[in-house]
Structure 1
Amino acid sequence: MDAVLRAATIYLVLLVLFKIAGRRALAEISNFDLLLLMIIGEATQQALVGEDFSLINAIIVIVTLIAIDVGLSLVKLRFARIDALIEGTSTLIVEDGRPLKKRLSEARLREEDILLAARQSQGLERMSQIKYAILEKNGKISIIPYSSG
């Protein structure tokens, strides 16, 4: 039972921490982010198994984490508000070629991040070519250009 409580606690703590970190934190992983995730993984492993390094304890921890994940996904499907709380919602960050400064600040984004996404996905070079830019739930930036016609 101790392993189940440890797994549930660590899952919830990491869920909250990554929610606080923001959507962009996991959208594109840098070397620093990868190292941080590896260290978090090691620390999490120590917290999950405690003093019991047995195979049975490891299986209990894995099953608990998967059960929590599946349970949360079912809850998110049934309750849109919980889904929005956990996953967030898409956010409009550019409208008619104008960056929405407050929303950019809240998302910890710069105009350069939007232009990078515009170049990569649409080949656009200027903010004035962007009709809408949307920060998606997964942390990616979707670009909708003005129609050419």
Structure 2
Amino acid sequence: MDILIRSLVIFLFLWLVVRVGGKREVAQLTAFDMILLITVGDLVSQGIVQEDYSLTTAVIAVATFAVAGLALGSLAQRFPGFRPWLAGRARIVVRDGEPLLDVLRGERMTIQDVHEAARRQGIRRLSDIELCVLETDGSFSFFTDEAHDEGGRGAQGDHRLT
């Protein structure tokens, strides 16, 4: 029973760390971050099993993490009001070609992050973006202004992304 409780405590702690870390942070893990994450996993396992390296202990710890993850997913599905708290919510970061700097700051992002993602989508000018949404998984969704797509210039002018 001790392993079950420790596993739940560690699961909740790691879930909180990922939520506080931010959407883009999780989506942009580098090789070093992955190595660090694996190392942290090993350190966490030591805290869970307290030097009990039996197969039973490992199965209980992994099963506890799996069940806790399923329980959170079920909670989000059954009670939609919890969904934003558990999984986050999509945020609009650019509207009508104008970056929402306070939202970007709140998500611990810079306008350069948006520029980079826009260039990957073939968007040359910030003014071409009608709406840019930071999704819950850390990816961007871009909706471009139809008039700009057809070669027209909007009131925002020609702001090339650099």
Q: How far apart, in 1, do the equivalents of 2:40 and 2:144 lie?
A: 39
**Corresponding residue SS for 2:32:** helix
Aligned equivalent of 1:2: 2
Q: How far 1:31 sits from its partner (Å)?
A: 2.7
Aligned equivalent of 2:19: 19
CA contact (8 A) 1:117 1:142 kept: no
Q: In terms of mean alpha carbon deviation, does 30-39 or 85-94 score higher?
A: 30-39
* TM-score of the aligned structures, taking structure 2 as reference length: 0.87
**Corresponding residue SS for 1:86:** helix
**Corresponding residue SS for 2:103:** helix
Q: How far 1:3 sits from its partner (Å)?
A: 0.9
Q: Which amino acid aligns with 1:103?
A: V
1:110 aligns with 2:122: no
Q: In terms of mean alpha carbon deviation, does 33-42 or 81-90 score higher?
A: 33-42
1:78 aligns with 2:70: no
1:98 aligns with 2:98: yes
- Counterparts of 1:1-149 in structure 2, within 5 Å, are 1-121=1-121, 123-147=122-146, 148-149=149-150
Q: How far 1:127 sits from its partner (Å)?
A: 0.8
Q: How far apart, in 2, do the equivalents of 1:145 and 1:39 lie?
A: 42
* TM-score of the aligned structures, taking structure 1 as reference length: 0.94
Q: How far apart, in 2, do the equivalents of 1:13 and 1:140 lie?
A: 24
**Corresponding residue SS for 1:53:** coil
Q: In terms of mean alpha carbon deviation, does 95-104 or 80-89 score higher?
A: 80-89
Count of aligned residue pairs for this structure pair: 148
**Corresponding residue SS for 2:137:** coil
Q: Which amino acid aligns with 1:137?
A: T
Render the CA deviation track for 1:50-77: whole Å, top value 9, x for unaligned: 1211001111111111111111111110
Q: In terms of mean alpha carbon deviation, does 26-35 or 107-116 score higher?
A: 26-35
CA contact (8 A) 1:97 1:131 kept: yes
RMSD, matched Cα: 1.2
**Corresponding residue SS for 1:124:** coil
Which 4+ runs in 1 deviate beyond 6 A?
none
Render the CA deviation track for 1:73-125: whole Å, top value 9, x for unaligned: 1111011121110111100000000000100111111111111111112x012
**Corresponding residue SS for 1:138:** coil
Structure 1 stretches lacking a partner, 5+ long = none
Q: How far apart, in 2, do the equivalents of 1:132 and 1:33 lie?
A: 31
Residue identity over aligned pairs, in percent, reads 31
